[in-house]
Every structure is written in C-alpha cells, then in structure tokens.
Structure 1
Amino acid sequence: MLDLTHGGIPIAKSLAAAGNEVTGIDVYGTVEPGALLELEEKYGIRCSKIPFPSAKFDLLVAPVHLDPAYPMLVEARSQGKTVLSHHQIVGEILKSDSRLSGIKTVEVTGVKAKTSTASLLADMLSRRFEVALHTSRGLEYWKAGSSSLIHKGLSITPGSILVAVDKVFESGLMPDFFIFEISIGGTGTADFGILTTLLPDYGIANNTALASEAKLQLVRHAKPEGVLLINSGAEKALEAAKKSQAKVLTFKDPFIIESPQIPDQIADFVLESKCGSASSISKSSTSSELSGSFIRFMHRGKEIFSVSPRPGYNFLAYRTAFVAASAAALELGIGHEAISSVIEKFEGLSGRMQEKVMNGICLIDNSNSGMDILSAEKALEYALLKKKDERKGNIILVLGEEASQVCEGLPPESVQRFVEKFGTKCSQVILVGERMRTISGKNISYAGNLHEGLLKASKFAGGVDIILSSVKCFR
C-alpha cells in the first residue's frame, strides 16, 4: 500500500480487515510515528517510511499522482507486477460491502464545479429520496430538502469514501443514494458517474501525466449497466466513452465558453439564459442585467423549465453545476418542478461566489478548495462589474492559499502574473500563504491565513468598498 497520506490509511485498514497481509509505505514521510505504530499494533499493518523490494508483494496499490519513478513502482513494472490505483482498490472494496446492496451511488469528478454539482444534486434527489452526500464541505445527510452534518474533515481522495460509508451506517442511517465528490477519477462502482469538466488541465505524478487522463478512470471503469453524464466539451472523455457499455449522456458546459465542442455533437442537456445562449453572455453585462436574467433548461431541444435565480450570489459561476445536476436529477427520476424549485431557492454555497456582509462591508466569498487563478480572475471581473453597477468604492483583494497541498496548491508564479496584470484594479492586495511572500507589486501586504487576511482587509475597507476573498483552502 503506497502513500498512507492521501487516503491510504482507510484503504490499508479495509484490506487488512478483509484478511489480507498489508504493508503500508509512508511515501511522503508525513504520517506521525504514533499513527504508524497504531496501524501495526491494532490492525496488523506493517509500516515503513522507506521502500521495500516489490518482489515481496503480490500487488501494489498506488495513487494516480505518485511519481512513476518511485523505486517500488519502477521495480513492479520491471517484474510485471499488478499495480492498482487507489480508485480501483476502493472500487473492489465497495463491491464486497454488503451494506451497499440496494443503494445507488453517484460519483462526481472533474476540475471545476464538483462540489456545487454534487450538493445541488443531493438537494434535488432529497425531494424524493434520502441521500448521503460526501464533498469537500463535509459528510451530510439530505432528506426532504434539508441537510444535517454527519462529519467534517474528510478529504475527497478515494480512500475517504470508505470512511464516509462507515460513518453513515454507524449513524444508523440507510440512504437511498450515496453521492461522492471524488478527486482525479472514479472507482468503477458508481451507478451514475458525472464528469463536470477536464479543463483547465494540469500535470500530476511529477508532471509525467495529465490529470485529465486520470479522471478518465470514471469513464473507462464505468459499470456496463451504469450511466455516464459527460461534459460535451470533454473530447477525451467522449472518445473513451465510445468503448464503454454504459449509457452515455452529454451536457453543454455554458461556463467554459472556450471549450471545444465535438463537431456534429448535439448535447442532450443544455442551459441557456435570458441574454441568449450562455456562450453569448458578454463581459460587458452588468450585475443588474444579470440579476434580471433567468435560466432555461433544455433536454434535446425541448424546454423542461425556466427559472429566475435569487440575488445574493453570482449565478453565472454555477451554470455548469445547474445543468449537470439538473440533467442527473431528471435522469434519476426527479420531476422538473422539484428541480426548478431547488435552483430557484438556491443561494450559493459558502466560498463559491457567495455575497455576504462582513462588519457592514460587502464581501464576495470565493475561497474554497477548488479555487484556482482562473476562478480568481472571474471573481475579480464580477467584483468590478458590481463596483461599476452599484457605484461601490475600492476593491480589496485577499488572494492566495492556506496550504500548498490543497488540490495542487496555487502556483506563486501564476499569482505573480495575476498581480502584474490585475493588481492595479484593486486598492489593496493581501496575499495569503508563505509561498506568496516572494511576490512583489504595488499596495501588497501579506497574511498567514484566510482569517488574518480578512481581518487586514476589513481594516483597509470603508463602508462602500468591496472585499473579494479568493483563497485556496479547505472550508
């Protein structure tokens, strides 16, 4: 079992509980000695911080992001050993879990909109079913449009799915659906798999592979009797899906306007807006124009419903989630009245382009684990539109990361380019995180974490100003 840091411990425990002889390798040397000792003494899992000869093992389990040059992987390949990803082994464990019999599972992966899609879908499904939802926001239980928090603090690595399942059943709950937000792929056990987007792509495994290739596990390992809902701009995924026996549905992603659409490919589900098709919304649109808009959901050219979103958040940032969640809910048996009601009452998710008031000052909250530099640019664009339309004062930007390990971190070089290009549009830029201290520019100061950054911003801001928070962090 390679990599105990990123969800490897629950996988190792599950394998040992099933009677397997398991050795855990702390590849990154980040696991506390006490935790390793507990694995050995309580669970019988031999642990090491250094590589072992691969010849001693029948198979190896490694995450998709592990450098292929790691010695045990090099040996395993030369010896023809089987190497399974964390996603694949979790899939095998889930297949043998009798508690899941009769319960449908949904897996959501992609670069953007995973949490929003999964959360909206849980709300929609809960109008008819009971739903256990595991996302980067926490482990929740949804029933009749209301949610309760079961547990907080799990990552969205495949291994965390095992913990989420255990905690749901330990709570005495019996959901009709499990919805899992999952990073960089799928387990192959989902009844319904959703791929939100493959863009923007990025390197993994010491830049020897692309994340988009790893995410295709959702497609390549899909159950023959399952359903796949794929972004129609994800050419790689649609090509891979041609070899799948699963039912394949597509949706047009109105958020990533630049994404190529396959020639002659007509998406099954499309989201349009009052301004025309989503792709025709111009950057010159003001926030007041947008607030008067409505969205229209189309299924194979037929309008299913239209709805006016609530004010108080940038609904344009949720267009991908709206179309993907609505398409999945419709396919899973939820009526269009319930779906449109959820969207109409939706107020945004905390940290995902939600507008708040902090000490009497307008706060645009865009701080979450999936935040990247493109998201920061779109958030600033929205803040500038709001400033112009509502005659606001200055924009105070809080930008950076709380931990470089959060979903690949926020590269300082990208932040430097951002500051050089857009920094003058803000009266103050507060950079969060140790790695950001190398970045220079006008009106820049630094903070150790998001809380400290917001405190600094509130001291700079006056009553008519806007604080824009775009920090990569777990919420």
Structure 2
Amino acid sequence: MGLLRKKLAVLDLTHGGIPIAKKLAALGNNVSGVDVYGTVDPALLGELEEKYGILCSKAPLPISEFDFLVAPVHLDPAYPMLAEARAIGKKIVSHHEIAGEILKNDSGLSGTKIIEVTGVKAKTSTASLLADMLSRRFKVVLHTSRGLEAWKDGSPSLIHSGLSITPGSILTAIEKSFEAGVNPDFFIFEISIGGTGAADFGILTTLYPDYGIANNTALASNAKLQLISNAKPGSALLLNSGAGKALEAAKEVQAKVFTFEDPFYANSSVNISEAQDFTLETEKAQNSPEISGPVLRFFERGKEIFSASLRPGYNSSAYRTAFVAASAAALELGVEIKDVVSVLEQFRGLSGRMQEKELNGISLVDNSNSGMDILSAEKALEYALLKKKDEKKGSIILVLGEEASQVCEGLPPASVQGFVEEFGAKCRHIILVGERMQAVTAKNASYAGSLPDGLSKASELAGAEDIILSSVKCFR
C-alpha cells in the first residue's frame, strides 16, 4: 500500500484517529479527519487544520474525492461514508492496517523488535509479565492500559500515561519513547481488537468470551484475527490453542506459529487443539497457603522445562493464561529459564487484577480494571466467597459497575442486572458505580458516581472481618 501523495479520509478521531491522521499528513498525504461521534473539542479540530493541514469535519464527507478511507473495525458499517464506500467499491483500510504500514516505513524502528498482544482477556498481565522477563536481558518499552513504561532489569519507570490501546496510540507511544531518549530492543504493545501487521512477534491471549462490535454487526473475535491475517512473512505468532478460528486462519500466513494451552479453556467446553507447544499445570502448595502459593509446572512439547513456586497474596488462578503465554514468548525470544522462573516467583499480581489489599484495615479484593467484564466479576466473587470460607470472614460488600462506558465497550447494565439477580444474595450489600447503573435494581443495593466514592461507601459499611470486593470497569 502506497502512503505517499494520497487523498484520504481518517474516520473516528475519538478512538486513535488523530495520531494516524497526523502521521499520514506528515508523510505528504492530503488528509481529512472525520469526527464521527462529534466528541472532539472544536479547538483541537482547529489545531489539526492550522498546524497539520488536516481538514476536519463533524459531518460525513463526499467519498468520491478520496483514494481510500481509513476507519476503525468497530465503527458502525451504516455510517454514511462507510455505506457509500462499500456500495461503490471504494477501498476501506482499518486503523490497524494503516498503523502497520506507517510502522513498517519508519526507519527509526530499524533494529527494534515489535511485540503485539491482543485478545479478550489477559492482555495487560501477559504483556506486563513478558516485559519483566525480557527486561532481565534487554531494554524494553511496554505500552498497556496501565501506561507507557521503560523496563530494565525488572524495574519499570513511567514515560507517559493516559494513552489508550487503540492502534493509533502505538504511534504516539513510540514518539513519546523516543522523545524521552528511550531506544529499546523491544516494544511491547497491548492492542485492542487486532494487530497491525508490523509485529515481529504476535500473541493472541483469548478469543473468549466473544462480544459484538460495529453496532453488533460483527464479532470482536473476527476483528482480532487481524493479528494473524496482517502478520508479516517471517514473523512469529503465539496463539491460544482454544481459539480454533485463529488456528485455522494461521494456516494461510507465512509466519511461524506456536500454540499454548490455556488452563482456563482446559476446564471449559471450548474445543482445544490436540497438540500444543506449551502447557502449564498447577499444584497446590504443600505448605500453608499463607506461606506459599501454588506451584507452576511448565512444559514444552510434553517435556517439563521448569517449575516455579508462586507467592501468596493474590489470586494466581486469574493469571494462568498470562503465566503460560508470557513464559512461552519469553523463552522463544531468548530469555533464560532462570529469569522466567524468577519473574514468576517474585510476581505479586497487578493492581486491579485480582490483587489482595487492605482498605482502612479491611480486606480488599481489587478486580477493578479496564478489561473487567461480567464474567470476571463472577470469577472475582467466587474467589471472595472462597476467601470468606477459608479465612472465616464475615460478609462481602461488592462494588460493581463502570466509571466510563467508553472503556472497551463498557459494562452493559443488562448484564449487571442479571448478575445481581443471580448472585446478589451472596453479598450483604452491593454498591453500583456509574450513571448507567441507576437502571439496575436490587434490594440490597445503593449507588455511587465513581470508584473512589464506591470504595469509600464500602469502607463505611464494612466491618473489620468483612471483605470488600471491587469489580469496576475503569482506567487504572
């Protein structure tokens, strides 16, 4: 795809379209930007026109004047410019594909390897564990929903915060890294709904549970297959063996394919490929759980490679996908076994991802993060109930909802209503967070406008022997 002297329109300036439009304009293209949701500040649109020469519009533009359109995979296909383009056969390029083309033509990335991690669950934890492992030997920059970090010798330092994980944000992340004087051996990018095709190593964590995108006209799982269909020749792909459609798609690409067995799928009805390259087994600790966590045993093509004793203090079962995927990727990328084991044994969980804490002296299970969904809330409640039983705790105060409905499709109020009807009686009180949760009704519920407000109310309601369970979809 040629990127020089073209006339094109970038649709959706809200979700990563702005950095894409800027880069395309800098390459000498005639670029128009379309604010399809009408949410971008007019002052910013004015700056794009004056400073970068990008014509901006909040209304659809005639498509006949453009060589092609650039649109995100989640945009409603009924949007007038998309519908018209399809009707006349005008080319439509995804945000992922155009970001990939820009990256492939960036001479500043010469000598640097790119890793992309996509999937429904375990993206952040897989990318973060892999960054820690790789940093024991290499210089690493990690971009996830937690922020943009430079990693060296197992220690992260924050470069920038506030970026989304859209493909367009990758361009900004690279720019911010170079501006900070950080030139890594590896860039690791958590990326939503697919891959750009610029990755030297792509990781697909899960395709389940699936959900609708583009006004429910498409499945997110199909869009995530861009990681595979866009894969460049000679690259490597590490795929979840429970993702059958991904394995099928991988037969058509010129990339080296590895598979891992996801322990989550092993206990579900999802069909698993018969032969996986990497598998993980867990054993309960022989000592008290308060002294030692479970033991992981990692296998490569049936041969045990290592075992690792995990720390207590977090729900390690919630990280099983990340443990096997990150370990497999690290070993394939040249990390020594002892460093992989060291990272696993030192790991204490990520903030907001099934981590045990205290809030004003009260036990807190923190499961509030950008990837939180209703299935995650169910798993978190199961864990809290087991903790209540094992540690003879009092009751559970649940904080549930969303801080921003824009975070990865939000948390549908209908799903929350179903959750509280099925599981609400297991909690002494439920604090529902977010404006949309006002539509949810339960006998033992109250409401809060934000996660801090919800936690504050929970702290006031909870006794010293209770458990506060926080499951709010939010940016952390």
Query: TM-score of the superposition, structure 1-length normalised?
Result: 0.96
Paired residue for 2:139? 130
Shift of 1:291: 5.4
Return the alpha-carbon distance in structure 2 between the equivalents of residues 209 and 436 of structure 1.
26
Return the alpha-carbon distance in structure 2 between the equivalents of residues 119 and 308 of structure 1.
19
**Aligned mate of 1:156, from 157, 162, 165:** 165
Paired residue for 1:420? 421
SS in 2 for 1:5: helix
**Residue range with higher mean Cα deviation, 267-276 or 441-450:** 267-276
Q: Is the 8 A contact 2:289 2:312 kept in 1?
A: no
Q: Is the 8 A contact 1:424 1:442 kept in 2?
A: no
Paired residue for 2:465? 464
1:294 to 1:175, Cα distance in 2 relative to 1, 3 A: same
SS in 2 for 1:38: helix
Paired residue for 1:172? 181
**Aligned mate of 1:120, from 106, 123, 129:** 129
Return the alpha-carbon distance in structure 1 between the equivalents of residues 376 and 128 of structure 2.
19
Q: Is the 8 A contact 2:297 2:306 kept in 1?
A: yes
Aligned residue runs from structure 1 range 430-441, under 5 A? 430-441=431-442
**Aligned mate of 2:82, from 67, 73, 76:** 73
Give the residue type in structure 2 aligned to 1:300: R
2:331 paired with 1:330: yes
SS in 1 for 2:14: coil
Paired residue for 2:238? 229
Shift of 1:446: 0.2
Paired residue for 1:91? 100
For residues 59-105 of structure 1, give each alpha carbon's deviation from its aligned partner in whole angstroms, at most 9, with x where no partner exists: 10000001111111111112221110000000011011111001001
Give the residue type in structure 1 aligned to 2:181: G
1:92 to 1:342, Cα distance in 2 relative to 1, 3 A: same
**Aligned mate of 1:12, from 16, 21, 44:** 21
For residues 368-393 of structure 1, give each alpha carbon's deviation from its aligned partner in whole angstroms, at most 9, with x where no partner exists: 00000000000000000000000111
1:362 to 1:247, Cα distance in 2 relative to 1, 3 A: same
Q: Is the 8 A contact 1:66 1:206 kept in 2?
A: yes
Return the alpha-carbon distance in structure 2 between the equivalents of residues 101 and 436 of structure 1.
48
2:317 paired with 1:316: yes
Paired residue for 2:7? none
Shift of 1:288: 4.2
**Aligned mate of 2:221, from 199, 212, 222:** 212
For residues 421-462 of structure 1, give each alpha carbon's deviation from its aligned partner in whole angstroms, at most 9, with x where no partner exists: 111111110000011111111210000000000000000011
Shift of 1:290: 11
Paired residue for 2:212? 203
For residues 21-54 of structure 1, give each alpha carbon's deviation from its aligned partner in whole angstroms, at most 9, with x where no partner exists: 0000000000010010000111100000000111
Return the alpha-carbon distance in structure 1 between the equivalents of residues 147 and 319 of structure 2.
19
For residues 113-149 of structure 1, give each alpha carbon's deviation from its aligned partner in whole angstroms, at most 9, with x where no partner exists: 0000000000000000000000000000000111100
Return the alpha-carbon distance in structure 1 between the equivalents of residues 37 and 449 of structure 2.
24
1:110 to 1:403, Cα distance in 2 relative to 1, 3 A: same
For residues 166-199 of structure 1, give each alpha carbon's deviation from its aligned partner in whole angstroms, at most 9, with x where no partner exists: 0000011110000000000000010000000000
Return the alpha-carbon distance in structure 1 between the equivalents of residues 456 and 205 of structure 2.
34
Give the residue type in structure 1 aligned to 2:18: I
Give the residue type in structure 2 aligned to 1:357: E
Query: TM-score of the superposition, structure 2-length normalised?
Result: 0.96
Paired residue for 1:282? none
Return the alpha-carbon distance in structure 2 between the equivalents of residues 142 and 259 of structure 1.
38
For residues 394-423 of structure 1, give each alpha carbon's deviation from its aligned partner in whole angstroms, at most 9, with x where no partner exists: 110000000111100001111011101111
Return the alpha-carbon distance in structure 1 between the equivalents of residues 389 and 304 of structure 2.
34
Give the residue type in structure 2 aligned to 1:135: T
Return the alpha-carbon distance in structure 1 between the equivalents of residues 319 and 249 of structure 2.
27
Return the alpha-carbon distance in structure 2 between the equivalents of residues 274 and 82 of structure 1.
53
Return the alpha-carbon distance in structure 2 between the equivalents of residues 4 and 443 of structure 1.
41
Q: Is the 8 A contact 2:116 2:201 kept in 1?
A: yes
**Aligned mate of 2:268, from 235, 245, 258:** 258
Paired residue for 1:56? 65
Give the residue type in structure 2 aligned to 1:402: E
SS in 1 for 2:253: coil
**Alignment length (residue pairs):** 464
Shift of 1:341: 0.5
Return the alpha-carbon distance in structure 2 between the equivalents of residues 226 and 175 of structure 1.
19
Return the alpha-carbon distance in structure 1 between the equivalents of residues 374 and 83 of structure 2.
34
Where does the alignment leave 5 or more consecutive residues of structure 1 unmatched? Answer: 277-286
Return the alpha-carbon distance in structure 2 between the equivalents of residues 93 and 120 of structure 1.
28
Q: Is the 8 A contact 2:284 2:293 kept in 1?
A: no
**Residue range with higher mean Cα deviation, 132-141 or 432-441:** 432-441
Return the alpha-carbon distance in structure 2 between the equivalents of residues 382 and 319 of structure 1.
15
Q: Which runs of 4+ in 1 moved over 6 A?
A: none
**Aligned mate of 1:245, from 242, 251, 254:** 254
Paired residue for 2:343? 342
Q: Is the 8 A contact 1:233 1:259 kept in 2?
A: no
Return the alpha-carbon distance in structure 2 between the equivalents of residues 349 and 340 of structure 1.
17
Shift of 1:308: 1.2
Q: Is the 8 A contact 1:288 1:389 kept in 2?
A: no
Where does the alignment leave 5 or more consecutive residues of structure 2 unmatched? Answer: 1-9
Shift of 1:293: 2.3
Return the alpha-carbon distance in structure 2 between the equivalents of residues 293 and 9 of structure 1.
46
2:20 paired with 1:36: no
Shift of 1:262: 3.9
Return the alpha-carbon distance in structure 2 between the equivalents of residues 36 and 330 of structure 1.
46
SS in 1 for 2:202: strand
Q: Is the 8 A contact 2:261 2:272 kept in 1?
A: no
**Aligned mate of 2:156, from 147, 151, 155:** 147
